[in-house]
Amino acid sequence: MNLFAEAFAWIFSPERLEGSLPLPTAIAQQLAFTLGSVAIAAVIAIPIGWLIGHSGRGREIAVFLSGAARALPALGLVVLLVKLAGVNLKTEAAVVVFVLLAIPSILAGAYAGIEAIDRSVIDAGRAMGMTEWQILFRIEMPLGLALLIGGLRSATLQVVATVTIAAYVGLGGLGFFMIQGLNTRDFVEILGASIVVVALALALDGVFALLARFAVPRTDGPRVRSARTARAPLPVPQVSR
């Protein structure tokens, strides 16, 4: 219990605002790596996920690649890419690894959100003369937003914890204090940095939880299929062809 008290004292010590890497700077670096990597991964994964969900093609390949990306050893891959790219490109090498780590969750959230939509809602849109692009942008994307945010949430939490390994190749972040604590056997410093990482992850999780709450489709509009229930009744009248 004293160790936790000492760890919190370490976090709020005025000394954390000084030194080669002040704590606020390390937190900013941690957030920059996390949000930047997730943003790049989102630009890559979301359009692919929407295309897979809309067309129904390529799902098996996406699942395979996502599983393979999840199995990659992040630390080993960072070290390997830094060795291959050189010290001058170590930041880019680390970001590539974090992007690869974030893509599977975002990709799964993107196509699962569209696949979960009741097919009769989409059929009704086609019956009313909507084009495929209109169906994607006006029906599938809004109704699949909640699951997409869930994918972004999962990816962000995974990356914010993994970014600590960036310090292993001299890129700073909160992992700097963990590695420094391991070298000096300062367990208070290790625990203090770990607590900050957990607090940062909880704060980001709270932000995405709020976003997901606002993204839930209204009960009086088209519904998304639940994994535990049958198809929900539709407010859209059936149109005979």
For 50-101, give the secondary structure using H, E and C. HHHHHHCCCHHHHHHHHHHHHCCCHHHHHHHHHHHHCHHHHHHHHHHHHHHH
Residue 53 lies in a domain: yes
How many structural domains comprise the chain? 1
pLDDT in tens, 10-46: 899 888 888 888 999 999 999 999 999 999 999 999 9
Q: Which two tokens stand for residue 27?
A: 């937190």
Domain assignment of residue 226, yes or no: no
CATH for 58:
1.10.3720.10
Residue 109 within any structural domain of the chain: yes
Range of the domain at 183: 23-215
Q: Is residue 77 part of a domain?
A: yes
- Segment 136-148 mean pLDDT: 87
Residues whose CB is less than 8 angstroms from the CB of residue 3 and which lie 6 or more positions away in sequence, other chains included: 187, 188, 191
Judge whether 18 lies within some domain: no
Angstrom distance (rounded) from CA 186 to CA 71 = 31
- What pTM was computed for the model? 0.82
Q: If you average pLDDT over every residue of the chain, what do you get?
A: 83
Residue 154 lies in a domain: yes
Confidence of residue 227 (pLDDT cuts 50, 70, 90): very low
Answer yes or no: is 1 within a domain: no
For 239, the token pair is 């149109």
Is 163 a domain residue?
A: yes
